[in-house]
Amino acid sequence: MSQEVVLPALGESVTEGTVTQWLKQVGDSVEVDEPLLEVSTDKVDTEVPSPIAGVIEEILVAEDETVEVGAVLARVGDGSGAAAAPAEEESSQSEAAEEPAAEEPAAAEESAPAEEPTAAETAAAESAPAEEAPEKAAEPAAAETSKPAAEPAEKQAATAASAAPAQGFDTPPADTPVGGYVTPIVRKLAQQLGVDLSQVKGTGIGGRIRKEDVKNAAANTANANDAATSTPAPAKFEVSELRGTTQAMSRLRKVVASRAVESLQQTAQLTTVVKVDVTKVANLRNAKKDEFLQKTGNKLSFLPFFALAAVEALQTYPIINSYVDGENIVYPAQENLSIAVDTERGLLTPVIKDAAGKNIAELANSVADLAARTRDNKIKPDELSGGTFTLTNTGSRGALFDTPLVFLPQSAILGTGAVVKEPGVFSTPEGDAIGVRSYVYLALSYDHRTIDGADAARFLTQIKKRLEEGNFEGNLGI
């Protein structure tokens, strides 16, 4: 008896989904909780597991078809109907496989006239294991090798003696130039410098090679080697297979595009940038990263330091954490931090709920967990909603800074650039000094309808001061 597989609820606000790919086909066996198909919604692409075990007897929704939550997707049963056809096909294949056994022996085929190979024979020959070719090629080689062995040993010795040139003290070495005599001193110098005399043109009387010729040849070779090693090969790049093609937008890309245009049309966005000296944070990170990894299992990057400083500033300046509701400004009671994650399907922003109560170890764990599950398409739709402020690490790909885009209903987003070392002026007890420092650019984009430039500057200044002080030992959580 077959049972129905329906589209489950994928989140509080998700009412429909599009089947993007069936991972199983009619006749395939499936276990409980084994992925059955992939579904795309407005919030996330996810896999739908099978609620029962059995054999897929019928698929009712085609790929790229959109259905509502609760719609029947497929029927799974014991496979009594779906498995019949494959069984017959396997039987016919087994009978066909037995037919070649009644063919003539290989010796009879060899005595037959040579014929043009058929397409099937050609394909079979190409798909044969690579080891067969060396074995067959070795047979004639072995036959040829065995022929000289059958000759008398005396005859082989005589042949070898007649073929070898007479060697004596008067015979010039192989590297002697044609028609040119080389003195023992010059020859010894060439050996010491690694110069091939056959490649040297003499400048002496009658084309004789002198010591100066050998030294010049050695110098030219050294210069050529230096030039070869000092000129690095150009970096290789990969040409994308998408070049010259036209591709349809994915459902996720359509949603992102629509919301991006909507946000720009309904908000007045601008960006403020500050440069922050994070040398003390970098020193603390280098000193604690091994211990942090050992105790937490996560790498200690700069991102949780930035997240902690930003969450603290959000509590001081809640206007950055607010959103517009009609003619009202709503100040949430929690700081729910959205983290931008780059995936193969597009940009997604999972949310760290109530980030104000977390230390650096907890923030690092939340970021690593959400990013991994988002990239592996294991994130839940509800984990992608409810954010009040976004943090995007634009420096992960080497960018110094950019002007990130605010997405409604949020009012601000903070972009963190790459941490780079530069010469800089810093204060010491003895006065100003110049040294190598670690810097990062922080770019805050915000909705100017409710957030003024002074608000943004105060918010960024608090983050800058917190990071430059670098006093995070008590916040590490290890």
Instruction: Enumerate the active-site residues.
Output: 448, 452
DSSP per-residue letters across 413-463: EEEE---EEEEEEEEETTEEEEEEEEEEEEEEEEETTT--HHHHHHHHHHH
Residue type, 288: K
Q: Kindly write down the DSSP assignment for every residue of 340-398, as one continuous string.
A: -EEETTEEE--EETTGGG--HHHHHHHHHHHHHHHHTT---GGGGS--SEEEE-GGGGT
Angle at 151 between CA 150 and CA 156, to 5 degrees: 135
**Residues 29, 30, 35, 38, CA torsion sign:** positive
Q: How many whole angstroms separate alpha carbon 393 and alpha carbon 320? A: 18
Q: Is 356 exposed, middle or buried (0-12, 13-18, 19+ CB in 10 A)?
A: middle
Residue 202 makes CB contacts below 8 A (sequence gap 6+) with: 177, 180, 208, 209, 210, 213
Q: Which 3 state secondary structure label does DSSP give 19?
A: strand
Element (H, E) at 75: strand 72-77
